[in-house]
């Protein structure tokens, strides 16, 4: 009687088929992983090539904000619109009016500008355009095209041309440093003083 298959042959053939199946399965898995890896790398490249959004995360209209300290009104901010950014910065593209109070009834000074920005990291306001600061108690008024206000240092400053109306006189010059309520100021490079007649005011 002729034996067609021995146990050994059967084992080898069975093992050979299993290896082929395993090889095919592993090869397929490797191809799939390679495709997924390439797709993932392409997705990452696309993400890296995309521009980072630095625009505003919030836009608000008809702003009327009041800031208090221990329940007392310190600052009132009014503006047609406000932009809020991720880093805490703010912008008022159509201008603002700031009123700083030492008593609830009347502001100590007002700050107006055609365009304004707030830098949260430096705690610094910047006004541009037609910037006007007025001391409401003395009537002194500052006009310039660029002005910084630092609430932390409690001062205003600029290196641009300034005009100050004070006690019937107009003082002009370049650069200015003033305290927060605009009761004391210094023009860094004075240009001149003009007396104003009563009928001109």
Residue 96, pLDDT above cutoff 90: yes
Same domain, 84 and 171: yes
Residue 163, pLDDT above cutoff 70: yes
pLDDT at residue 52 in the model: 75
List, for residues 104-126, the tens digit of each pLDDT value.
677 888 999 999 999 999 999 99
Same domain, 15 and 85: no
Same domain, 44 and 27: yes
Q: Could you tell me if residue 1 is inside a domain?
A: no
Same domain, 139 and 193: yes
**Structural domain span for residue 75:** 58-200
Same domain, 19 and 108: no
pLDDT at residue 125 in the model: 93
Higher pLDDT, 76 or 15: 76
Same domain, 140 and 181: yes
Same domain, 26 and 97: no
Q: Could you tell me if residue 41 is inside a domain?
A: yes
Choose the weakest-confidence range: 5-14, 159-168, 185-194.
Answer: 5-14
Confidence category of residue 3, pLDDT binned at 50, 70, 90? very low
Confidence category of residue 159, pLDDT binned at 50, 70, 90? very high
Same domain, 112 and 38: no
Residue range 49-62: average pLDDT?
81
Higher pLDDT, 140 or 41: 140
Residue 10, pLDDT above cutoff 50: no
Same domain, 89 and 39: no
Q: Could you tell me if residue 195 is inside a domain?
A: yes
List, for residues 11-34, the tens digit of each pLDDT value.
434 444 445 566 567 666 666 666
Can you give the three-state secondary structure of the chain, one letter per residue?
CCCCCCHHHHHHHHHHHHHHHHHHHHHHHHHHHHHHHHHHHHHHHHHHHCCCCCCCCEEEEEEEEEEEECCEEEEEEEEEEEEECCCCCEEECCCEEEEEECCCCCEEEEEEECEEEEECCCCEEEEEEEEEEEECCCCCEEEEEEEEEECCCCEEEEEEEEEEEECCEEEEEEEEEEECCCCCEEEEEEEEEEECCHHHC
Same domain, 93 and 166: yes
Higher pLDDT, 137 or 195: 137
Total structural domains in the chain? 2
Q: Could you tell me if residue 2 is inside a domain?
A: no
């Amino acid at each position: 009687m002729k034996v067609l298959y021995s146990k050994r042959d059967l084992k080898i053939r069975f093992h050979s088929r299993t290896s082929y199946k395993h090889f095919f399965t592993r090869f397929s898995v490797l191809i799939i992983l390679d495709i997924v890896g390439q797709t993932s790398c392409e997705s990452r490249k696309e993400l890296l090539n995309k521009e980072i959004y630095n625009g505003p995360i919030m836009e608000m209209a008809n702003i009327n904000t009041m800031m208090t300290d221990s329940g007392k009104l310190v600052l009132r901010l009014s503006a047609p619109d406000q932009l809020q950014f991720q880093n805490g910065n703010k912008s008022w593209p159509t201008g603002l009016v700031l009123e700083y109070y030492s008593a609830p009834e009347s502001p100590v000074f007002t700050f107006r500008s055609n365009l304004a920005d707030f830098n949260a990291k430096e705690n610094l306001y910047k006004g541009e355009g037609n910037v006007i600061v007025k001391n409401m108690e003395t009537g002194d008024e500052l006009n310039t095209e660029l002005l910084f206000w630092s609430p932390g240092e409690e001062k205003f400053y600029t290196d641009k041309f300034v005009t100050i109306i004070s006690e019937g006189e107009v003082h002009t010059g370049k650069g200015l440093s003033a305290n927060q309520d605009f009761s004391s100021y210094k023009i860094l490079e004075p240009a001149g003083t003009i007396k104003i007649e009563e009928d001109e005011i």
